[in-house]
Each structure stands twice: as C-alpha cells, then as structure tokens.
Amino acid sequence: MNTYRLALIGFGNVGQGLAKILLNRGSWLKNHFDAKFLIVAVSDLHKGSCYDPDGLSISELLESVDNTNGLEEVAAPQLGWNSLQTIRESNADFIIEISYTDLETGEPALTHTRAALQSGKHVVTTNKGPIALYFPELIDLARKHNVEIGVEGTVMSGTPVLRVGMDIMEGAVITRLKGIFNGTTNYILTQMETGISYNEALLKAQTLGYAEANPDGDVQGHDAAGKVVILANLLLNIPLRMRDVPCRGITHLTPEDIISVSKSKERWKLIGTLDKTDNGCDARVQPELVPHNHPLYSVSGVTNAITYTTELLGDVTLIGPGAGRIETGYALLEDMLAIHRNQSGT
Ligand code: HSE
C-alpha cells in the first residue's frame, strides 16, 4: 500500500470537492488502487490553516467549513501556517495547488507551484494561470527536482482531454483542434436562445457559480484563450503565449443575433481553435456560427467539448463537464492516481 500525504493550498469549491471524494471513496481507492491519500494540511487565505503530520479528519474539515466558513473547528497540532510555510515545512508529498490566480501574472498560484517543485513535492493543480503563462519553466523545474506536475483540471475540469490528447492519441497525430472551452459563455448563449437578455443570462451563470470571480475573463474570451494556450503547449509542444491568441468574446452578441440564426440551423458558440502550421500554429478564440451537423452544435449549457482532427483517426470529439465542484475535484484525483501509477510502477 502506498500512502500519499496531501497539502491543499486553497479550500474553496474545488478543494472541498476533492475532500468529499476522498471521504466517500477513500476505502474504495485503497482497495482498488492500493493507494491511501491523507490530507495532512489545508491552508486557505480566508478560511485559515491547519496541519497534522499524521492526517486531518476530512469530515471535520468539511463540517467546519459548512458551519463557520473557516477551519476553526478542526483539531490539529499546528494552526496558522501560511501557504508557503505549509508547502515548504509540511511532510506532504503532494501539493494540491487550488488557491486562486489570474492570466496576467499567474499569482499567487505561480509562487506556490514554484516553491512546491523546488521543495521536491509533486504538484497537482487546476489553476490555469501558472500553466498558461509558465508551463515550459515549470515542467523543467519539475524534471530538475525529480517530481511530477499534474494539470488535467486546467482544461475541461475532469473530462480527460489533456491525457487523451497527449498520451492516447499521440500516435494519431493531432493537426487541429476546436472546442467550447468556457462553460459560462456557453451557458449564456444557450440561455439567450430562449429570448432572455445577455445581462439576465450572465447573472444566472454567476448565481450558479459557473463564472470566474471576475466574469470579464469568461465573457471576453480570455479564460478560453488560456485553455487554448495550455492545449498548444501540452498537446502540440508549441510554446504559445497568451498574446499569440487573438481573442473576441461574446459581449457584442444580441438576443436577435442569436435567435435569427436558428432558421438556418446554426448556433453561435464561443470557439477556441488551434491549427498546426509548418512554423508552429494559428490560434484564436471568437464566436463562430456552428452548423447543425457539427458535433459542437448540440453542446448546450455549461457543458464543454473538444474536437480533435487527427491524421490517422479523422475527427474525435469529447464532450463533458468543464467546471463544477466534484467534476474539478475529480480532475485532481485523476492526476494523483496517474502519479501514483508512475511512482509505484503499476
Ligand atoms: N469560469 C470557467 C468556465 C470555469 O465558465 O468555464 C472553468 O475554467
């Protein structure tokens, strides 16, 4: 049995999603994968911080957050460590980096990720900022310190688009990809098809928790552009940067624009595209009219999708969740299990 100690940097929706999965499925994971995952530390800027080298009680963590929106009710020998202390001084093998970030500086997630790799700890993250901005540096740092970095949840949450594209379809050779990478905008566009205004639809998306803290990044297309950059770096091995992706969002689309195209059996979708070229790739994010016979046409609401075009297999489309507490928590588990397989040789 391999035992892995986890430190969670951030304990918002995603961290709580992972904690719930481990609480409900811990025994099954032990039996099925021969792997035991202990949460030894949680450090959250707003909720507080606790550390027990022998493992914290997951039910206490979740109950405390439910009752107090903080970690006050958790019994632990060490309280109050900040994120960097937790990363450097705890006995964790995995740093689960799920604090917050942006697509301009990547901070503070970037500093956490660097510190964890430099401390010889595996990093698993769903934070797009550091990966979209600094992936080549971070993967080098991980190799130098002989640890791994798992990033599956940065694109389409737990829907395994990165792993499928990088590992399983590598031999088919991906030449192009096109996708709906932002749930908030897809939800807004789907809602506007029913005749409601952009502002009403955005408010609903915010109430349902789909939008980023600042929804400008969603509706102006930057969140989708970040995912396109990550896909270029990981799947095509091209060091694309945010500035290389021309980006247009959905804010100019009116309900009339959206309803009028239904007659021609088309739909407006915010589409991210990557085309491999002789010198690298062309990338863009923009609203596009999708015809009814394309698989992306029927992808509604908060659901995401990606169509890979390959040399040997033609088009392959994956459709699945792109956000959500359990769905993104599961993305972390996917990476943890992949690292477990690599470490244990199973
Ligand atoms: N705000 C993002 C979305 C969350 O709407 O898709 C997942 O990155």
CATH of the domain at 176: 3.30.360.10
Of ligand 1's listed atoms, the one at least distance from the Cα of 186 is 5
pLDDT at res. 273: 98
**Domain shared by 177 and 190, yes or no:** yes
Q: Tell the residue nearest (CA) to atom 7 of ligand 1.
A: 323
Q: Residue 317 belongs to what domain range? A: 161-321
Identify the CATH number of the domain in which residue 47 sits: 3.40.50.720
Report how far ligand 1's centroid is from the alpha carbon of 198 (Å).
17
Cα–Cα distance for residue pair 156/303, rounded to 1 Å: 9
pLDDT at res. 267: 97
**Domain shared by 106 and 222, yes or no:** no
- Reference 331, options 128, 137, 136, 120; nearest CA is 128
**Domain shared by 83 and 27, yes or no:** yes
Q: What is the pTM of this model?
A: 0.96
CB-based contact 3:38 (threshold 8 Å): yes
pLDDT along the chain (346 residues), means of 10: 97 96 97 97 98 98 98 96 98 97 96 98 98 97 98 97 96 97 96 92 88 87 97 96 97 92 95 96 98 97 97 98 94 98 89
Of ligand 1's listed atoms, the one at least distance from the Cα of 184 is 5
Q: Tell the residue nearest (CA) to atom 8 of ligand 1.
A: 323
Of ligand 1's listed atoms, the one at least distance from the Cα of 187 is 5
If one counts the domains in the chain, the total is 2
DSSP 247: B
pLDDT at res. 210: 82
Cα–Cα distance for residue pair 147/63, rounded to 1 Å: 33
Report how far ligand 1's centroid is from the alpha carbon of 79 (Å).
32
Collect all residues with Cβ–Cβ distance below 8 Å to 123 and sequence separation of at least 6: 94, 95, 97, 113, 116, 117, 142, 147, 148, 149, 150
pLDDT at res. 209: 81
> Which of 180, 207, 223 most suits a substitution to test ligand 1, by most atoms within 8 Å of the C-beta?
223
Phi, psi angle pair for 58, to nearest 5° = -65, -40
Positions marked active-site: 227
pLDDT at res. 346: 80
pLDDT at res. 211: 81
**Domain shared by 25 and 146, yes or no:** yes
**Domain shared by 243 and 259, yes or no:** yes
Instruction: Give the number of residues written for the chain.
Output: 346
Q: Tell the residue nearest (CA) to atom 4 of ligand 1.
A: 323
Of ligand 1's listed atoms, the one at least distance from the Cα of 181 is 6
pLDDT at res. 131: 98
**Domain shared by 20 and 152, yes or no:** yes
Pocket of ligand 1 (CB under 6 A): 182-184, 210-212, 218, 223, 322-323
**Domain shared by 68 and 172, yes or no:** no
**Domain shared by 112 and 210, yes or no:** no
pLDDT at res. 214: 82
Is 206 exposed, middle or buried (CB count within 10 Å of its CB: 0-12, 13-18, 19+)? middle
| Sheet of strand 35-44, all strands in order from the earlier edge strand to the far edge | 78-79, 48-51, 35-44, 2-9, 94-97, 122-125, 149-150
Report how far ligand 1's centroid is from the alpha carbon of 215 (Å).
9
Residue 317 CA: distances (Å) to CA of 46, 267, 310, 322: 39, 18, 11, 14
**Domain shared by 132 and 165, yes or no:** no
Report how far ligand 1's centroid is from the alpha carbon of 278 (Å).
32
Report how far ligand 1's centroid is from the alpha carbon of 210 (Å).
6
